[in-house]
Structure 1
Amino acid sequence: MTIRVYTEDNLTPETWIQDAACAQIGGDAWFPEPKDEATANHAKRICKTACPVREQCLEYALRTRQRDGVWGGYTAKSLQAIRRRSAA
Protein backbone atom coordinates (compact mmCIF):
# COMPACT_ATOMS: atom_id res chain seq x y z
CA MET A 1 0.00 0.00 0.00
CA THR A 2 1.29 3.46 -0.88
CA ILE A 3 0.16 6.43 1.16
CA ARG A 4 0.69 9.82 -0.37
CA VAL A 5 0.33 13.18 1.31
CA TYR A 6 0.08 16.26 -0.88
CA THR A 7 -0.09 19.91 0.07
CA GLU A 8 -0.51 23.04 -2.00
CA ASP A 9 3.21 23.77 -1.85
CA ASN A 10 4.29 20.16 -2.25
CA LEU A 11 2.80 18.24 -5.14
CA THR A 12 5.07 15.26 -4.71
CA PRO A 13 4.31 12.46 -2.26
CA GLU A 14 5.89 12.43 1.16
CA THR A 15 7.67 9.09 0.73
CA TRP A 16 8.58 8.77 4.42
CA ILE A 17 4.93 8.26 5.30
CA GLN A 18 5.03 4.71 3.94
CA ASP A 19 7.37 3.78 6.80
CA ALA A 20 5.32 5.50 9.52
CA ALA A 21 3.93 3.42 12.36
CA CYS A 22 0.45 4.82 11.70
CA ALA A 23 0.58 3.62 8.08
CA GLN A 24 1.42 0.12 9.29
CA ILE A 25 -1.15 0.02 12.09
CA GLY A 26 -4.02 2.04 10.63
CA GLY A 27 -7.16 2.83 12.58
CA ASP A 28 -8.74 5.93 14.02
CA ALA A 29 -6.29 6.44 16.89
CA TRP A 30 -4.36 9.04 14.88
CA PHE A 31 -7.34 11.38 14.71
CA PRO A 32 -9.02 11.11 18.12
CA GLU A 33 -11.95 13.24 19.17
CA PRO A 34 -10.76 16.46 20.88
CA LYS A 35 -11.53 15.28 24.43
CA ASP A 36 -10.46 11.65 23.93
CA GLU A 37 -7.15 11.84 25.79
CA ALA A 38 -6.85 8.06 26.21
CA THR A 39 -6.84 7.49 22.45
CA ALA A 40 -4.51 10.44 21.85
CA ASN A 41 -2.10 9.14 24.50
CA HIS A 42 -2.14 5.68 22.92
CA ALA A 43 -1.29 7.15 19.50
CA LYS A 44 1.44 9.40 20.96
CA ARG A 45 2.99 6.42 22.76
CA ILE A 46 3.16 4.44 19.51
CA CYS A 47 4.67 7.42 17.68
CA LYS A 48 7.32 8.01 20.30
CA THR A 49 8.34 4.36 20.72
CA ALA A 50 7.72 2.59 17.42
CA CYS A 51 7.85 5.09 14.59
CA PRO A 52 11.07 5.27 12.57
CA VAL A 53 10.02 8.48 10.78
CA ARG A 54 8.75 10.46 13.76
CA GLU A 55 11.04 13.44 13.12
CA GLN A 56 9.97 13.75 9.48
CA CYS A 57 6.34 13.51 10.55
CA LEU A 58 6.74 16.24 13.14
CA GLU A 59 8.51 18.51 10.66
CA TYR A 60 5.78 17.89 8.09
CA ALA A 61 3.02 18.66 10.60
CA LEU A 62 4.68 21.91 11.63
CA ARG A 63 5.43 22.93 8.04
CA THR A 64 1.90 22.20 6.80
CA ARG A 65 0.21 23.55 9.96
CA GLN A 66 -1.80 20.41 10.72
CA ARG A 67 -4.82 21.20 12.90
CA ASP A 68 -6.08 17.70 13.60
CA GLY A 69 -4.59 14.41 14.60
CA VAL A 70 -1.44 13.10 16.21
CA TRP A 71 1.74 13.87 14.26
CA GLY A 72 5.26 12.96 15.34
CA GLY A 73 4.00 12.06 18.79
CA TYR A 74 2.22 15.38 19.37
CA THR A 75 -1.44 16.34 19.33
CA ALA A 76 -2.66 19.25 17.21
CA LYS A 77 -2.90 21.37 20.37
CA SER A 78 0.74 20.61 21.21
CA LEU A 79 1.80 21.40 17.64
CA GLN A 80 0.10 24.76 17.92
CA ALA A 81 2.06 25.51 21.10
CA ILE A 82 5.33 24.52 19.40
CA ARG A 83 4.55 26.86 16.49
CA ARG A 84 3.80 29.72 18.89
CA ARG A 85 7.08 29.20 20.76
CA SER A 86 9.00 29.06 17.47
CA ALA A 87 7.44 32.29 16.27
CA ALA A 88 8.35 34.18 19.45
Structure 2
Amino acid sequence: MSLKFVTVFLRSSGENALIILEEAGSNQIAVVEKQALLDVASPPRADETRLQENVELFCNIVRAKHRAKDVASDGRIYISAGDVCEWKSAPGNPH
Protein backbone atom coordinates (compact mmCIF):
# COMPACT_ATOMS: atom_id res chain seq x y z
CA MET A 1 0.00 0.00 0.00
CA SER A 2 1.10 3.54 -0.67
CA LEU A 3 0.78 6.61 1.49
CA LYS A 4 -2.18 8.76 0.45
CA PHE A 5 -2.13 12.54 0.86
CA VAL A 6 -4.54 13.89 3.50
CA THR A 7 -3.59 17.52 4.16
CA VAL A 8 -0.74 20.00 4.35
CA PHE A 9 -0.33 23.26 6.23
CA LEU A 10 2.28 25.81 7.20
CA ARG A 11 2.66 26.12 10.95
CA SER A 12 1.75 29.54 12.32
CA SER A 13 5.33 30.01 13.53
CA GLY A 14 6.50 29.73 9.91
CA GLU A 15 9.36 27.47 11.01
CA ASN A 16 8.12 24.43 9.12
CA ALA A 17 5.17 22.78 7.43
CA LEU A 18 3.36 19.56 8.21
CA ILE A 19 2.12 17.02 5.70
CA ILE A 20 -0.23 14.30 6.84
CA LEU A 21 -0.49 11.14 4.78
CA GLU A 22 -2.47 7.97 5.51
CA GLU A 23 -1.90 4.28 4.94
CA ALA A 24 -4.20 1.50 6.13
CA GLY A 25 -5.89 3.75 8.69
CA SER A 26 -2.65 5.07 10.20
CA ASN A 27 -1.35 8.60 9.77
CA GLN A 28 2.22 9.42 8.80
CA ILE A 29 3.33 12.94 9.70
CA ALA A 30 6.06 14.60 7.71
CA VAL A 31 7.80 17.83 8.66
CA VAL A 32 9.05 20.06 5.85
CA GLU A 33 11.81 22.23 7.25
CA LYS A 34 11.76 25.95 6.45
CA GLN A 35 15.01 25.76 4.46
CA ALA A 36 13.49 23.03 2.26
CA LEU A 37 10.62 25.41 1.45
CA LEU A 38 13.07 28.20 0.71
CA ASP A 39 15.22 26.01 -1.54
CA VAL A 40 12.52 24.18 -3.52
CA ALA A 41 12.11 26.99 -6.09
CA SER A 42 13.27 30.47 -6.96
CA PRO A 43 12.88 33.11 -5.67
CA PRO A 44 13.22 31.64 -2.16
CA ARG A 45 9.95 31.79 -0.21
CA ALA A 46 8.62 29.90 2.78
CA ASP A 47 4.91 30.57 2.51
CA GLU A 48 1.61 28.77 1.96
CA THR A 49 1.70 29.36 -1.80
CA ARG A 50 5.16 27.80 -2.18
CA LEU A 51 4.02 24.86 -0.06
CA GLN A 52 0.89 24.27 -2.14
CA GLU A 53 2.81 24.60 -5.43
CA ASN A 54 5.23 21.87 -4.36
CA VAL A 55 3.09 19.55 -2.25
CA GLU A 56 3.36 16.68 -4.75
CA LEU A 57 7.17 16.89 -4.78
CA PHE A 58 7.25 16.86 -0.98
CA CYS A 59 4.81 13.91 -0.88
CA ASN A 60 7.01 11.98 -3.32
CA ILE A 61 10.02 12.54 -1.05
CA VAL A 62 7.99 11.40 1.98
CA ARG A 63 6.86 8.24 0.16
CA ALA A 64 10.45 7.41 -0.83
CA LYS A 65 11.70 7.96 2.72
CA HIS A 66 8.82 5.86 4.08
CA ARG A 67 9.69 2.97 1.72
CA ALA A 68 13.34 3.24 2.83
CA LYS A 69 12.19 3.27 6.48
CA ASP A 70 13.89 6.66 6.92
CA VAL A 71 11.67 7.61 9.87
CA ALA A 72 12.88 9.57 12.91
CA SER A 73 12.63 8.18 16.44
CA ASP A 74 9.52 10.33 17.01
CA GLY A 75 7.77 8.53 14.12
CA ARG A 76 7.91 11.51 11.79
CA ILE A 77 9.62 11.89 8.45
CA TYR A 78 11.69 15.05 8.10
CA ILE A 79 12.33 16.77 4.76
CA SER A 80 15.42 18.95 4.67
CA ALA A 81 16.85 21.22 2.00
CA GLY A 82 19.38 18.46 1.31
CA ASP A 83 16.54 16.01 0.63
CA VAL A 84 15.01 18.43 -1.88
CA CYS A 85 18.34 18.97 -3.63
CA GLU A 86 19.03 15.23 -3.75
CA TRP A 87 15.53 14.48 -5.09
CA LYS A 88 15.70 17.12 -7.81
CA SER A 89 19.16 16.02 -8.97
CA ALA A 90 18.37 12.29 -9.14
CA PRO A 91 17.50 11.12 -12.66
CA GLY A 92 13.97 9.81 -13.07
CA ASN A 93 12.44 11.55 -10.07
CA PRO A 94 9.36 13.65 -10.86
CA HIS A 95 9.77 17.35 -10.08
TM-score (norm 2): 0.27
Which structure: greater strand fraction?
A: 2
Which structure: greater helix fraction?
A: 1
